Amino acid sequence: MDYISSLLSLALFAIFVPGVLFTFPSKGSRNTVLAVHAVAFMVVNTLVMRYYWINIKGHIENMMNYGDTCPNGFVPNGDKTANNGAECVPAGQTTYPPGSIAPVPESS
């Protein structure tokens, strides 16, 4: 579990509670103030977490990041120069029974 991202979110939440550091709009109704603070927290938390996970932790999420396995019917691409450098290439058949857990290759 990543405690740093949890602590960052907790700190941002505490900061965006109306009246802790600021209240905007200052003359708005209670519901308006809560809605504005909720949207501001959502935007700032998303930006901070994205910065943290990409620039600090080094994780980049994309559609081709399957970790140690490939989806069913695909195998790891041994030759990264072929197939435009794709991580997984079609195998032409199922590589493990549907509904089962994908096999994790042993580390070398």
pLDDT 10s digit of each residue in the chain, 108 long?
Answer: 478 888 999 999 999 999 999 898 989 999 999 999 999 999 999 999 888 887 777 655 444 454 556 777 777 777 766 656 567 778 877 766 666 655 566 655
Q: Which residues contact 14 (CB under 8 A, 6 or more apart)?
A: 20
- What is the predicted pLDDT for the residue at 11? 95
pLDDT at 90: 80
Domain locations in the chain as residue ranges: 3-56, 64-108
What CA–CA distance (Å, rounded) separates 64 from 98? Answer: 20
Is 73 in contact with 52 (CB distance < 8 Å)?
no
